[in-house]
Amino acid sequence: MPPELNRSEIVAELTAMSDRYERALGENDIPELDALFYHGPETVRYGVGETLYGYDEIAAFRRNRTGGSPPRDVLRRHITAIGTDLGTVDLEFRRHGSDRIGRQSQTWVRMPDGWKIIAAHVSLMADIS
């Protein structure tokens, strides 16, 4: 039997985690961002200009990036809960001062200490002007 999709209480939990991530990203709250990623070698983050394998590389990247992530507005968010312990959060965003659309995908998994990002991908759409 396939897992149940989009149980309302799980979608609500993932929405709260996504909100927490966006708040931490906007405030460049590195300890909070670190806490939201799974602390293991399985974690992957593909960024606009970097490819990071494992929690340690992701944490080091955040500490070495001056000024944090550029400010942005979320334009659209799509959340899919897969069963009770897995979900995806996909969103479109626009960085302040830019017309380019960015995309972010995250895979969240429920661990004994709460929801954690185990895979993330950030990209910018090609400039069509």
Domain ranges of the chain: 6-122
State pTM to two decimals. 0.94
Dig out the tokens for 116 from the structure.
Answer: 């954690």
Look up the CATH architecture of domain 6-122.
Roll (3.10)
pLDDT one-digit tens code per residue, 98-128: 999 999 999 999 999 999 999 999 999 987 6
Tell me the C-alpha distance between 17 and 57, whole Å.
22
pLDDT at residue 127 in the model: 77
Specify which residues 76 forms β-bridges with: 92
pLDDT one-digit tens code per residue, 28-43: 999 999 999 999 999 9
